[in-house]
Structure 1
């Protein structure tokens, strides 16, 4: 359920990245030739896992990256286990099956890709190592009187505390995933209506929200080695409803190579607004072509050690009324139901700590 976009997503102790096999973008180029971009990972948490494939578009047209469809994507380990991922209906995103290949600490993983036109790519092999446990997750209410509306004025800052191991050279990344139950699996617009018409789900379903821009949250232990990491900010919860807010926190332990990758990517996001915009900067990665050394490739595939926790945020005692940013939806309960597809945005799989 995570890219981890994930991109957007989604995270890791790795072997050193094979950066020498990747040609970085020249920021002075006006036009960039098409190149494959890979985003994905396998973790020691339950899957499914996703790999997203896109192609860089010609920067001179300022267009979005193009989805790379029809590829064969395989995740394998050093013991001979492997799985061919299934492409989702949205295209360009490939996913393992529920109960499929599982990341295990101590094993070595890589991804192999064969595109529709026969190009072949492979990631550097990555060792999956366990991440330290999260100490505690907590929230603090904070009211911002300078905010533009009541929905953003009220907010809950989520923090974690964790203990850094005594070993030197530890690098961290944190991600969050918000799950919200929904009984609407498709919306349609109709003339004369001020609201969208919602079609019901055929089963239980949860919408998934992740932070997709300006959200690369990383840290090195160079200044705190062996000590407690306190009040590490993870997310600010908005006041778009008065219901409880369910969020899962992923703590990842990175190698120095992948830490530097995300550090460069963070700078790219701050400059352009997306990890891989139409003209990404010198992000590099650990992907290379095995069929043609002249082919460019960008991005990463990693084996990720994660520790995961959750928090329920009580939003019932905020000031004033919540402000929703979503369009109103009228559920047509008599319409034919729509399947809740398991994707990076929605899932029929109940979140592991969901109990309300």
Structure 2
């Protein structure tokens, strides 16, 4: 008994020593100098073109980028044509006019920036290269019986076929945009028993919701392995079964410079890193923006000249297995409410999509 008591005493003393030796770890604050970030392109399609500018915040304060307002932003070409972009509310985004400068295949473009505090930046010149036409946009229905969610079990995989030119050094990117007609331009939650619901306020005019891919969507390719040959079954998107109505999808094929291709490639690698042992070490992604007033100022992002070819497809979802599964909140339209103007931004538009069926 005495030995057991001694053992307990030693154990308590040991635990006490361990606890007393634990010191809370206070990591050093990470701080970086505020730097300009630029995102924008000019294409051979009609404008307006947008340039978004933010500035990195001090990470020891908050991990947000701050809108860069009050700057003078100019797009110019090698023939002397230029346009000063107009800042859009709430700020940080600068846009050309709808009838302003337009990208022309074969011309060289650059971006010039003068910030509100007098810093000056410039992008490296980029030649706008034509994108080959897309030969075919098509879809294939695929059902996965192992998937428990019927909205994901049914799906339509969209593909593109195109032809790579004989020239070497061609680089591509594919993007998609989904438009869906909406009667509701605002909604209000109504509390009730046993449960509440959303009351939908109708739009004052025709209106379309816009959906794009924002996460893990850098869909790029180099022609290094296919030069001069066909590019077949280039995957674009898997369309979900969230309704049985037709699904309208626009697809853009972009011809990139090597510089912007490398920029997107590095960005994709950083986004897809999982923190595994053999992942590439995180690194800042530069771009083609540099300061012309102070070489010590860092800038990130890219302004590119991009050739674009476009097309659309209308997907029939009426013959899928079972019922669709929507993740949207159910809305009851309040026909007596005062209508709301349809917004015209990246998420909604009153302008009918280019190939929308009548």
TM-score (norm 1): 0.84
- Once superposed, which parts of structure 1, at least 4 consecutive aligned residues long, lie more than 6 Å away? none
Cα-Cα RMSD: 2.3
Q: Are the counterparts in 1 of residues 220 and 261 from structure 2 also a CA contact under 8 Å? A: yes
CA offsets per residue over residues 85-143 of structure 1, 9 Å max, x none? 33333432222233332211122222222333332222112111211110100000111
User: How do residues 23-38 of structure 1 correspond to structure 2 at under 5 angstroms?
Assistant: 30-38=30-38
Asked whether 1:187 is paired with 2:183, we answer no
Shifted more, 143-152 versus 301-310: the winner is 143-152
**Unaligned stretches of 5+ in structure 2?**
1-27, 276-281
CA offsets per residue over residues 186-213 of structure 1, 9 Å max, x none? 3333444733333333332221111111
Change in 2 beyond 3 A, CA 1:60/1:163: same
Partner of 1:267: 269
C-alpha displacement of 1:62 = 5.8
C-alpha displacement of 1:47 = 2.1
CA offsets per residue over residues 219-261 of structure 1, 9 Å max, x none? 1111111110110101111111111111111111112221111
Q: Which has the higher contact order (CA 8 A, sep 6+)?
A: 1
Q: Are the counterparts in 1 of residues 127 and 257 from structure 2 also a CA contact under 8 Å? A: no
Partner of 1:201: 203
Partner of 1:168: 168
**Which structure: larger Rg?**
2
CA offsets per residue over residues 68-91 of structure 1, 9 Å max, x none? 233333222223333333333343
1:218 to 212, 217, 220: 220
Give me the whole-angstrom Cα distance separating, in 1, the residues matched to 2:65 and 2:333.
34
Q: Are the counterparts in 1 of residues 191 and 197 from structure 2 also a CA contact under 8 Å? A: no
Partner of 1:138: 138
C-alpha displacement of 1:354 = 0.8
Partner of 2:104: 104
Give me the whole-angstrom Cα distance separating, in 2, the residues matched to 1:149 and 1:67.
40
C-alpha displacement of 1:348 = 2.0
Change in 2 beyond 3 A, CA 1:107/1:61: same
The number of residue pairs the alignment matches comes to 323
